[in-house]
Amino acid sequence: MKNSVRVALIAHDLKKDEMVDFARKHEKALSAFPIVATGTTGSLIKKSCPSLDVECVKSGPLGGDQQIGAMIAEGTVGLLIFFIDPLSPLPHDVDVKALTRLGSVYDLPMALNRSTAEMLVKAATT
């Protein structure tokens, strides 16, 4: 039975391969949830993990971060996994900050790196 609350998966450019690897490793656990992901990240995950139910929104810089932020505010995203590249300058840094701020405001379980994501997926499926 699928959970009705979505898991959001987002990754910066240099972290996309890591996110795909993470999704592949946890495909069985993630298949219990509908997934929402920003454009390119979602497309890569869909291609690599065909069993996952992935809804793609716009890419982050084109409003995808804000779309997922709205879902957090509406209560339809219950877990945010966002692999951030802290060493790359981001043209849409304000969107990233707004998204993580909403995650904090709504007390959402949120992982910004792989080790935390591993713990959250394990906790969500036990």
Tell me: the pLDDT tens digits for 58-113?
998 899 999 999 999 999 999 999 999 888 877 778 888 899 999 999 999 999 99
Domains of the chain with bracketed CATH? 6-124 (3.40.50.1380)
Tell me: the pLDDT tens digits for 15-54?
999 999 999 999 999 999 999 999 999 999 999 999 999 9
Active site residue 65: yes
Structure confidence at residue 5 (pLDDT): 84
Query: Is residue 4 a contact partner of residue 79, using CB atoms and an 8 Å limit?
Result: no
Q: Which residues of 71-81 are buried (b: 16+ CB within 10 A; e: fewer)?
A: bbeeeebbbbb
| Residue 63 to residue 42: CA distance in whole angstroms | 14
Among residues 65, 93, 95, 107, which one is catalytic? 65
Confidence of residue 2 (pLDDT cuts 50, 70, 90): low
